[in-house]
Structure 1
Amino acid sequence: MALIGNLRHRPVRRLTQLYVGLALYGIGMALMIHSDLGLNPWDVFHQGLAKLTGLSFGTVTIALGALVLLLWIPLRQRPGLGTVSNVVVIGLVVDATLALLPAGGPLGVRIALLVTGILAIAAATGLYLGAQLGPGPRDGLMTGIVARRPGWSIRLVRTVIEVTVLALGWLLGGTVGWGTVAFALAIGPLAQLFIPLFAVPEPGDAAPATGAVAPATPAC
């Protein structure tokens, strides 16, 4: 029931937002990867693991998402349809998009890919979170830890998790660059813009809430 309970209210819009958002997130990830100018912390880790194992980026994303989801069990977190879909859809879309993108490109094109990727990820975050069908496995891990450790802030847990995966990914050969910094600086304000814009009002709400907190690493 946890997976489908929210679908009783505006199911068509919620499902459309969810899957458009997840697909757009995967496209944004692929654009950032193709720019070769730096990735967000979790994707640095995904890329490092892909290089280590020889698996595709999307396969690693799916496998690690499923592993992180298992960590929800001791934290007593309950996944939604969006959570399970997140694990599968983003990985499939990122691999498909990478296969379609042409190789190489001048610096100006790569910068455009990076900027477009960050904007796509921010908009995708607003779409899939606005559907209110469950957070991504990595965001749920963060909020689950905070819920079980009341003295720990979201900022602290987010920082520890992201610094850890960033360092591990860099050691494994993931791409860290000024694009990583650009993502870190831009994603919070951009997500804060898009999340209330796409929020589906609950029955009886006059308008979507405008105080949503940006996720740790959106959609993942």
Structure 2
Amino acid sequence: MARTHLSFLTPREQLHAGRLPRRLAQLAFGLSLYGLSMAVMIRSQLGLAPWDVLHSGLTQRLPLTFGQITIVVGALVLVLWMPLRQWPGLGTVANVVVIGLATDASLALIPEPSALAPRGALLLGGIVLNGLAGGLYIGSQLGPGPRDGLMTGFARRTGWSFRLVRTGIEISVLGIGWLLGGVVGVGTVVYALSIGPLVHFFLPRVTVALDQPAVASEKGSTASAPA
């Protein structure tokens, strides 16, 4: 299958790159699906993604729901963009709000099973949905999520590799979340090993081709963190 390149565009260019109704619909669906996938993994009680371990730990300390914590953390991460000279797009702002709301709505509807088999099915299904959702919202080309932008901005300013920066950030948030009492388990390991290949598989299949020439193209797929 031919590789579909992502374009690095300014917020203004993102809105004028064509096919906007299709891209907005895909963004909304992808972010909602991402929130659903997070809720599914939470209900499995078998371990969470590194950022969600942090969110889970914070829910033990603050009188906020999981989705509300996700929104607050996303907003705080956006503040960290300022010294990195990153500019959020429409998709970035939507990422902060929609995923948190979708997570809380999904948690209200999904029961928590007690048997191991359905919990395992929830975990695996949630991880696959998360990979698809990440591909959908990244592929809408309306701006990175706040956590993705933190990684790319920090890598650009320091000259360090994306892999090194992403690994350092995720190990840090995982460690902080674990110390706060966040849920760490086999699902954390499975997610870490599989999310990159899953997004790599889905992203070129769901990326919306832009009508105008790309300002600059990314020479490969970048896996998402949440949000």
Q: Is the 8 A contact 1:41 1:165 kept in 2?
A: yes
CA contact (8 A) 2:131 2:195 kept: yes
Within-5 A mapping of 1:54-73: 54-73=63-82
| Residue of structure 2 in register with 1:118 after alignment | 127
CA contact (8 A) 2:19 2:210 kept: no
Is the Cα–Cα contact under 8 Å of residues 4 and 81 in structure 1 kept in the other structure? no
TM-score for both structures, normalised by structure 2: 0.90
* Identical columns (%): 56
Aligned-partner Cα distance in 2 for 1:141–1:181: 22
Unaligned runs of 5+ in 2: 1-9
Name the structure 1 match of 2:148: 139
Q: Aligned match of 1:80 in 89, 100, 125?
A: 89
Listed one character per residue, the Cα deviations across residues 49-82 of structure 1 (whole Å, up to 9, x for unaligned) are: 0111121000000001000001111100010000
Residue-pair matches, total:
215
1:11 maps onto 2:20 in alignment:
yes
Q: Is the 8 A contact 2:96 2:145 kept in 1?
A: yes
Which of 29, 47, 50 matches 1:20? 29
AA partner of residue 220 (structure 2): A
The TM-score normalised by the length of structure 1 is 0.93
**Paired residue type of 2:192:** A
Aligned residue among 202, 206, 209 for 2:210: 202
Amino acid at match of 1:47: S
Note the aligned Cα RMSD (angstroms): 1.7
Q: Does 1:166 align with 2:174?
A: yes
Counterpart Cα distance in 1 of 2:59 and 2:11:
30
* Distance across 2 between alignment mates of 1:177 and 1:29: 15
Q: 2:162 aligns with which of 120, 130, 154?
A: 154
Q: Partner of 2:195 in structure 1?
A: 187
